[in-house]
C-alpha cells in the first residue's frame, strides 16, 4: 500500500517531520541515502547551539521556542538527554559586526526584549568577571541568555527516528533518491532500488536538495569543525562555560561550546563562504593540519585561556544557503504536492523540532500552528 507521505532525507528536518507525521497516525515512508545519524551532511558534530532570541529575525523565534518544548517532551518519552540549557553568550568588540548579519547583537537584544526572553546585558568588566576563560580587549558588549544552550544532534535524530519507527513509520536507508517526479494524482520518488508513490512528498535532503529539485538559488559550502585540547577541561564544563558567538571584527567571528561530559576536546568553528560552492559527492572531507593551525592562530590564540594548539579531531559539514541566508520552506510552485525544506544556512538545527511539527500539520491539516509563510523563496529572485 502506498504511504500518505514520503520524507526524502532524514537529518535534522527529515527525522523531525517523519516523527511528527507518524505520531499523528499518517502512513509515512522516510528515505535516506545513508543511515542516519551520519556525518555526510549538516546534522552531526556532537553539539549544536540553540538560543531563543534569534538574531537572524523575528520569524524564527516562535520556531525555537516551540522546539525547546518538543525537545523536553521527547526527553520525557525516551529518557535521552537532548538539550543542555547551559546558557548562551553573544558578544562583540567595539564596532564589531557579523559580516553577513550586520546588526546581529543588537537584533538579538531587541528580540529578547520583544518576546520577554530572560537575559542580561553585560559590559566588558562583568563579562571578564563572569567568564574569565575569554581574553578580552576591553570595550566588549555582551548578551547572556540563561535559557540558551546546546543540543546533541546525533541523539536528537536517533530519538526522533526511533519514535517514528515505534509509531509505524517505514524507513528505507542507504537508498539514494534519483528523481522526484509528479505522477497522476501524486508524486513518484525514484531511488537506486525502486520507485515509491505518495500524495505528498517532503524533501529535506539538505545539500542534495539543490540537485534533486534543480534549485540554482541554493548553494552548498564546506564548513570545518575543530576540537582542540583543553588544558583544564573542568574550566570549560557546562555550568562554568556557555555556548558562545564572538564577533571580533568585520570579518572575524567564531562560535564554540562547553565540553560535554564523556567527550574530548573544545569544539570551536566559524562560518566560511570564501571557498567555491561545493558538490556533496565531491567535497573534500579531510581537514588538513594546516587548516587547523591557521584557524587556531586566527580565532583561539590570545582569545581563550587554556586551549592548546593540539588538535583532538576535526570534521567537515555542509551548509546549504539561500541568497539572504534565510530558510526556504515552501510548496513548490510547479507542483504544490512537493514541499521543499532547505537552505538552513547553518542556523537550522535549533528550529528543526518545530519545523517537523509544522510540516506534519501543513501536509495533513493544511496549516501549521507556527507560521511558515515567511520562508517562501518568493522573497528573492530565483535564477532560471
Q: Where are the domains of the chain?
A: 5-45+153-218+324-379
CA atoms of 319 and 221, how far apart (whole Å): 5
260 CB-near residues (< 8 Å, 6+ apart): 46, 47, 84, 150, 152, 238
pLDDT at residue 9, as a whole number? 98
79: left (phi over 0), alpha (psi -120 to 50) or beta: left
Q: How far apart are CA 140 and CA 91, in angstroms?
A: 7
332 - beta bridge partners? 335
Give Cα 203 distance to the centre of its chain: 16
CA distance linking residue 246 with residue 365, whole number of Å: 41
Nearest to 332 by CA among 194, 217, 197: 217
Asked if residue 12 lies in contact with residue 349, where contact means CB atoms within 8 angstroms, the answer is: yes
98: its cell numbers = 557579523
Strand, helix or coil for residue 190? strand
In 3D space, the residue among 18, 112, 26 whose CA is nearest the CA of residue 65 turns out to be 112
The per-residue pLDDT for 237 is 98
- The DSSP-derived string for 48-69 is EEE-SS-TT-GGGHHHHHHHHH
Residue with cell 518576546: 115
**Domain boundaries 5-45+153-218+324-379, corresponding CATH code:** 3.50.50.60
The parts of the chain modelled with pLDDT lower than 50 are 383-384
Collapsing DSSP to helix, strand or coil, 68 comes out as helix
Residues near 161 by beta carbon (within 8 Å), at least 6 away in sequence? 10, 15, 18, 19, 30, 36, 171
Q: Which of 37, 135, 33, 149 is nearest to 84 (CA)?
A: 149
Confidence at residue 99, expressed as pLDDT on a 0 to 100 scale? 59
The CB density around residue 107, as the number of other CB atoms within 10 Å, is 18
CA quadruple 258, 48, 368, 21: dihedral positive or negative? Answer: negative
Mark residue 268 as left, alpha or beta (left: phi above 0; alpha: psi -120 to 50; beta: remaining).
beta
Q: What is the pLDDT of residue 204?
A: 98
Model pLDDT, residue 294: 97
pLDDT tens digits for range 20-77: 999 999 999 999 999 999 999 999 999 999 999 999 999 999 999 999 999 999 999 9
* SS3 state at 185: coil
Report the largest interatomic distance among the alpha carbons of the chain, rounded to a whole angstrom: 66
> pTM for the whole thing?
0.96
Matching residue, cell 556525518:
39
**Confidence (pLDDT) at 384:** 39
- Identify whether the C-beta of residue 17 lies closer than 8 Å to the C-beta of residue 345: no
pLDDT on residue 47: 98
Please write the tens of the pLDDT for every residue from 218-232.
Answer: 999 999 999 999 999
Respond yes or no on whether the N-terminal peptide bond of residue 37 is cis (omega within 30° of 0): yes
Amino acid at each position: 500500500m502506498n504511504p500518505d507521505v514520503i520524507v526524502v532525507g532524514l537529518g535534522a528536518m527529515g527525522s523531525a517531520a517523519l516523527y511528527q507525521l507518524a505520531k499523528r497516525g499518517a502512513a509515512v515512508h522516510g528515505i535516506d541515502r545513508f543511515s542516519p545519524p551520519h556525518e555526510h551532511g549538516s546534522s552531526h558534530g556532537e553539539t549544536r547551539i540553540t538560543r531563543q532570541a534569534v538574531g537572524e529575525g523575528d520569524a524564527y523565534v516562535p520556531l525555537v521556542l516551540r522546539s525547546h518544548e518538543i525537545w523536553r517532551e521527547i526527553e520525557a518519552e525516551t529518557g535521552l538527554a537532548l538539550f543542555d540549557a547551559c546558557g548562551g553568550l553573544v558578544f562583540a568588540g567595539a564596532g564589531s559586526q557579523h559580516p553577513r548579519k550586520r546588526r546581529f547583537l543588537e537584533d538579538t537584544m531587541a528580540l529578547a526584549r520583544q518576546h520577554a526572553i530572560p537575559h542580561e546585558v553585560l559590559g566588558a568588566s562583568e563579562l571578564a568577571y563572569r567568564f574569565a576563560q575569554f581574553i578580552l580587549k576591553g570595550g566588549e558588549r555582551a548578551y547572556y541568555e540563561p535559557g540558551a544552550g546546546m543540543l546533541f544532534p546525533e541523539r536528537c535524530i536517533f530519538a526522533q527516528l526511533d519514535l517514528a519507527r515505534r509509531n509505524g513509520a517505514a524507513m528505507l536507508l542507504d537508498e539514494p533518491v534519483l528523481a522526484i517526479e509528479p505522477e497522476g494524482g501524486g508524486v513518484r520518488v525514484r531511488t537506486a532500488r525502486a520507485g515509491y508513490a505518495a500524495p505528498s512528498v517532503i524533501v529535506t535532503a539538505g545539500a542534495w536538495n539543490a540537485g534533486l529539485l534543480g534549485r540554482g538559488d541554493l548553494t552548498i559550502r564546506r564548513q570545518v569543525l575543530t576540537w582542540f585540547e583543553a588544558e583544564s577541561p573542568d574550566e570549560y564544563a557546562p555550568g562554568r562555560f556557555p555556548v558562545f558567538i564572538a564577533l571580533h571584527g568585520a570579518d572575524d567571528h567564531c562560535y564554540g561550546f562547553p565540553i560535554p561530559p564523556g567527550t574530548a576536546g573544545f569544539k570551536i568553528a566559524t562560518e566560511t563562504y570564501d571557498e567555491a560552492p561545493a558538490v556533496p559527492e565531491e567535497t573534500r572531507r579531510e581537514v588538513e593540519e594546516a587548516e587547523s593551525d591557521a584557524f587556531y592562530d586566527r580565532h583561539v590564540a590570545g582569545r581563550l585561556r587554556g586551549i592548546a594548539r593540539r588538535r583532538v579531531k576535526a570534521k567537515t559539514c555542509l551548509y546549504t544557503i539561500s541568497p539572504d541566508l534565510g530558510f526556504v520552506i515552501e510548496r513548490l510552485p510547479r507542483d504544490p504536492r512537493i514541499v521543499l525544506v532547505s537552505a538552513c544556512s547553518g542556523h537550522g538545527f535549533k528550529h528543526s523540532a518545530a519545523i517537523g511539527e509544522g510540516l506534519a500539520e501543513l501536509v495533513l491539516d493544511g496549516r501549521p500552528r507556527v507560521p511558515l509563510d515567511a520562508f517562501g523563496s518568493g522573497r528573492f529572485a530565483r535564477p532560471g
